[in-house]
Amino acid sequence: METKKQQPKQKPRSKGVSAFIVVIGCAIVAHLFFYLVAGNPANFDEKGHPINGNVLGTLFQGGFVIPIVITLLLTVLVLSVERFFALNRASGKGSTSKFVMNAKAKLEAGDIAGASKLCDDQKGSVANILKAGLIRYSDVEKLTDIHNDEKAAMIQKELEEATTLELPYLQQNLSVIATISTLGTLMGLFGTVLGMIKSFSAMGQEGAPDSTALAIGISEALMNTAMGIGTGAVAIISYAYFSGKVEDITNAVDEVGFAIGQTYTTLHGGLSK
């Protein structure tokens, strides 16, 4: 009885940029910008009020929550750029949909070698997964001691294992972006509440309200509202875009996986003898 050949396992992709390192770096940049640039004395008049029309000075009036929100915004932007290049690499050379169409045509024609060459040329995640399935396809064809339905199951299992290795790379950092889509808005609301507390405190003083404290409180509230909503919106758009890209790739994987299974069933009907 023949023994099953052990196929060399596909190596997982190298890990991308760590979200933790990105957050730390963005926090440093955000705080330096807030205190050194926005807080520069040149942005304020002699009374310490922002110069009329000076955006940086007005931003500084937003209080300590602003650099936190800026950190979240920078994190989304950096991770979005990282995901853009990572998913472009994962898509491989040329159009993924065209690759899938050509690979299915090769498989339907029984041209396993041609499909394998397409994978070598395309070099994307879909190609890597299909290549792993094709290697297993070639291996199980040489086995004579098991049924063909078992061989087909072995091919599908290999495709699933290859997919498991690729998916973490495709989905990396998307959960962080999704979290910031909510956290950014919540931090903005937190800053808004703090600003409104200051405003009501100024209005609650005996005698005439402290107009300066009232203005600062309102300014803090509005700046935090704007920054929080803006950060949440950017994160939502980024997450939706890259999630769609990942879904397109996984759909392509499912399509070629089904095609290779159909090819084996069509070309190897019945039982192995």
pLDDT digits (tens, 9 = 90+) for 48-104: 778 887 888 888 888 889 999 999 999 999 999 999 999 999 888 888 888 888 888
> pLDDT band at residue 1, thresholds of 50, 70 and 90?
very low
User: Domain limits of the chain?
Assistant: 72-267
Per-residue pLDDT averaged across 1-24, rounded?
63
* Residue 11, pLDDT above cutoff 60: no
Q: How far apart are CA 233 and CA 188, in angstroms?
A: 12
pLDDT in tens, 211-260: 666 677 777 788 889 999 999 999 999 999 999 999 999 998 888 888 88
Q: Which of 235, 231, 237, 233 is nearest to 69 (CA)?
A: 231
> pLDDT band at residue 273, thresholds of 50, 70 and 90?
very low
Work out the mean pLDDT of the chain and round it to a whole number: 84
Q: How far apart are CA 250 and CA 124, in angstroms?
A: 12
pLDDT at 197: 82
Question: 144 or 156: which carries more pLDDT confidence?
Answer: 156
Beta bridge partners of 44: 50
Angle at Cα 18 formed by Cα 12 and Cα 21, nearest 5°?
160
Q: How far apart are CA 95 and CA 202, in angstroms?
A: 61
> pLDDT band at residue 29, thresholds of 50, 70 and 90?
very high
Burial (CB count <10 Å: 0-12, 13-18, 19+), residue 14: exposed
* Residue 12, pLDDT above cutoff 80: no
| Token representation of residue 37 | 């640039």
Give the dihedral sign, CA 95/97/103/105: negative
* Residue 201, pLDDT above cutoff 60: yes
> pLDDT band at residue 271, thresholds of 50, 70 and 90?
very low
pTM for the complete prediction? 0.83
Provide the terminal-to-terminal Cα distance of the chain, rounded to the nearest Å: 12
